[in-house]
Each structure stands twice: as structure tokens, then as C-alpha cells.
Amino acid sequence: MIRLFAALAVPDEIAEGLARRQNGLPGARWRPRETLHITLKFAGDLREDVAADLDAELSTIRGEPLTLELAGVGCFGEADDIHAVWAGVDETLALKHLAKACETAALRAGLPPETRVYRPHVTLAYLRRPDPDKVAWWIQANNLLRSPPFEVRSFGLYSSAVTDAGSRYRLERSYSLTPP
């Protein structure tokens, strides 16, 4: 079994700006710069044959390079169940189409459909039972986040391995975004 997800890498200069905001929240497990990404489709734990099918389906996706911007911050969960803080991504039509194409590829590879609404973001930290007031303060202090526009010319299929130090990601395949 291999745990996989399709994602867009965050360019180094954008990750550097995000890293400057990764403080001021006690107990946060801040994500290293090299792990920052925008998930397109989480596939989960797959058998090798299903992973190969997913790779084959993702390789058929065509689309223009994307220009994206990060905007705002937020959290997943409420009150005692807040479990992550994130930077938002302005959702463009091209990004929606790419995420939908990844979902369709996953369905063709035999994966179950996603039940959650797609919300593009970059996870900055995972939290365990944080003080909700401190999370609110961090969001208030960082809510004007706005990155410069950045171009994305490819997306990747990443594997995720859980270690004592947190999840480690590895790019398994890269897919160019080229016009159809």
C-alpha cells in the first residue's frame, strides 16, 4: 500500500513568505517549507496496481499553466476540534478545472468519489487541542496574507509516509500542464 495525493508544489519564494508566518501559535506543528503544497486530490492508501492506474489516468490531463495567488488564512475545525491552520488560495476557474480533472482521473482509476467540497489551501500547521482564542489571534494577525501571483506549470503525484517527525512527502510523478 502506498498513500498518494495529487498536488501543486508551492514555489520556494512563496514558501519563504509563508514560513515567516509560522510562529505565534503554541503547540503548532509547523510544516517544513519543502512540504507546502496545494492538494488537488487526496487518494489515500492504495494498492500498487491502483496507484499505477491513477498515475496512468493523471497523465492524460491537459490544461494551461496556472497563475495562482494565496489570500487570507483560516483553520479547519471549531473550538476544541481545531486541527489545522492554512493559507487560502484564490480559486480560479483553471484551478477548479484541474482539481475536477484529478477527481475524474481518480474515479476512472477506481477510487471512491470525494464527498467534501474542494477548498484550495496550503496547510501551514497541524494542531492538537489548541486554545481557540490563540488560534483566533493568529488568524487575526495573519488574515491580510496576500502572495504575489505565481505560475504553476506542472502538478505532481506525491507519496506520503508518516514518521515520528511528521509526514514526509516524495514526488513520485510529475505531469506538465500544456495546452490541449
H/E element, 19: helix 12-19
User: What integer pLDDT is reported at residue 58 of this predicted model?
Assistant: 98
- Give the domain range for residue 81: 2-176
For the segment 10-46, what is each residue's pLDDT rounded down to a tens digit? Answer: 999 999 999 999 999 999 999 999 999 999 999 999 9
97 is catalytic: no
User: What integer pLDDT is reported at residue 162 of this predicted model?
Assistant: 82
User: What integer pLDDT is reported at residue 79 of this predicted model?
Assistant: 85
User: What integer pLDDT is reported at residue 180 of this predicted model?
Assistant: 66
The conformational region for residue 77 under phi > 0 = left, psi -120 to 50 = alpha, else beta, is left
Identified catalytic residue from 5, 37, 46, 53 = 37
How many folded domains does the chain comprise?
1
Residue 84 has pLDDT above 90, yes or no: yes
83 is catalytic: no
For the segment 96-146, what is each residue's pLDDT rounded down to a tens digit? Answer: 999 999 999 999 999 999 999 999 999 999 999 999 999 999 999 999 999
CATH number for 137: 3.90.1140.10
Identified catalytic residue from 70, 121, 155, 158 = 121
The DSSP-derived string for 82-113 is --EEEEEE---HHHHHHHHHHHHHHHHTTPPP
Angle, helices 48-58/93-108, rounded to nearest 10 degrees: 140
